[in-house]
Amino acid sequence: MKSKSNEKKKMKIAFICTGNTCRSPMAQFILIKKLKDAGVEGVLVRSFGLRAKAGPLSDNAVAALKRLNVPFTKNFRSKLPPKNLADYDAVICMERYHKLAITPLYPNAFTLGELCDFGEVDDPYGCGLEAYIKTAKLFDDCFDDLVKEIRRALKERIE
């Protein structure tokens, strides 16, 4: 049985996009893989959509994740959970308007572009496979530094 002190040390990260069919789930699964590959434990990574409905990831998101050899779960879409969003240590939005929409619920949200020093993450929905692969590679490149920051933050929690 886990102690309450160990529970408190677990970090929670949420990715937010519009429909939770492409960007935020690809970010979720890529970050999970990078954390696992780096041997970082104690992090829960989830994704949510402002307007998500039940259903699978888009076919192109699946193909992009497969291309990068990233494990995933196809059927899981989640609508933004307003009641427990404050439980997350980091809420990372794909676009500025996502951040503005959730700021009343979580004032410390930020965009991925703010974290990784680039603009917004364009929505590949309705575009061809290459747009999805480009988005997935953007996450893959950006998340190396994010994993280092997560590792540092986890160490601070332990000390």
Q: Which residues are catalytic?
A: 17, 23, 123
Cα-Cα end-to-end distance for the chain: 22
SS3 state of residue 45: strand
Number of Cβ within a 10 Å radius of residue 18 = 19
Round to whole Å and give the CA distance between 54 and 69. 25
Round to whole Å and give the CA distance between 88 and 85. 6
Where are the alpha helices (H) located in 10-128, listed in sequence order?
23-37, 59-67, 96-102, 112-116
111: β partners: 93
Q: What is the 8-class DSSP label of residue 108?
A: T
110: β partners: 92
Round to whole Å and give the CA distance between 61 and 53. 16
